Amino acid sequence: MNVEIGKGLSNIIFGMTENEVIAILGKPDRVIAGIDDNKEFLYNLLKLKLIFDSEEGNRLYSIEVFKKEVTFLSTEVIGMSFDELLFFMKKNGYENYEVDSYDYFDTVYFDDCNTYFTLEFNEVTSFDFSPLFKNDDEIIWPECRPNTILKAMSK
């Protein structure tokens, strides 16, 4: 699976409904009622957390990845050190970032691709990303690929 910045993860596209995601990935292993009536789908084998935003019509708004084999810009980033991550992102045109430090982990946020990387013990352990924005407050929803959804539903 590969991250497509601003679009989603392979055939899981931002803006999809819960039923569209279930048609492709199957039922989640766990469903959590999140903050502000958002809903989170957890997929254990895929090591994914999908968040559906209640304020956006319960559409898929955020994807968090914990599986090393899932690629970002066609590269495995989970396991990279802080310095490796910064070098990699700069090489791909993402130079502006913010770092927040917490008790036992840090986050590095790249606004241009709306992506957070979580580092524990100086190693990327997960990353989450969302759609891009126009004018800082208007979501740029990617077009869903109806053929992908229909193919998944017909299986």
Residue written as token pair 């810009």? 73
DSSP letter, residue 81: B
- Does pLDDT of 155 surpass 50? no
Looking at the chain, the whole-number percentage of residues with pLDDT higher than 70 is 92
Nearest to 11 by CA among 110, 116, 147: 147
pLDDT, position 144: 63
Q: How many CB atoms lie within 10 A of CB 113?
A: 18
Confidence of residue 146 (pLDDT cuts 50, 70, 90): low
pLDDT, position 135: 81
CA distance 133 to 138: 5
What Cα–Cα distance (Å) separates residue 22 from each residue in 14, 30, 42, 114, 155? Answer: 14, 12, 11, 25, 12
Rounded CA Rg of the chain: 15
Fold adopted by 2-152: protein yfey like fold (2.60.460)
Domain ranges of the chain: 2-152
Which of the two residues, 9 and 34, has the higher pLDDT score?
9
CA distance 50 to 12: 10
Convert the pLDDT of each residue in 72-126 to its tens digit.
999 999 999 999 999 999 999 999 999 999 999 999 999 999 999 999 999 999 9
pLDDT, position 154: 44
- Does pLDDT of 137 surpass 90? no
Convert the pLDDT of each residue in 30-87 to its tens digit.
999 977 889 999 999 999 999 999 989 999 999 999 999 999 999 999 999 999 999 9
